[in-house]
Structure 1
C-alpha cells in the first residue's frame, strides 16, 4: 500500500500549512511508515493511505516519488 506523509521539516515548530511537505511511502501499515521515518528529524502531521482514484490523482503529480519501507 502507498501512504502519503504530510510533514514539517522543523520538528519543534508549530505546523504551518505553507511549509507542509509531503512524501510517498510504500509499506504494509502506517506503523511501519512511522518506524521507518523515526530516525528523520521531521514533525509528521498526517499519514494517509492512498487507494483508487486518490492514488491515481497523486501519481499524476511531478513530485510523486515512492520510497520503500
Structure 2
C-alpha cells in the first residue's frame, strides 16, 4: 500500500500550509510508515492511504516518487 505523508521539515515547526511538504511511502500500515520515516526527524502532520483513482491522480505528478520503493 502507498501512503502519502504530509510533513514539515523542521520537527519543531508549527504546521503552516505554505511550508508543508509531502512524500509517498510503501508500507503495510500507518504504524509502519511512522517507523520508516522516523530517522528523517520530521514533523508529521498527516498520513493518508492513497489507492485506486487517488493513487492514479498522484502518479500524474512528475515529482511522484515512493521513498522506499525497491523497484
TM over 0.5: yes
Superposed CA offset, 1:38-63 (max 9, x none):
11121000000001110000000011
Which residue of structure 1 lines up, in the alignment, with residue 34 of structure 2?
Answer: 34
Structure 2 spans left out of the alignment, 5+ residues: none
More strand by share: 1
Aligned to 2:44: 44
Partner of 2:65: 65
Cα offset for 1:68?
Answer: 2.2
Cross-structure match for 1:24: 24
Which 5+ residue runs of structure 1 have no aligned equivalent? none
TM-score (norm 2): 0.91
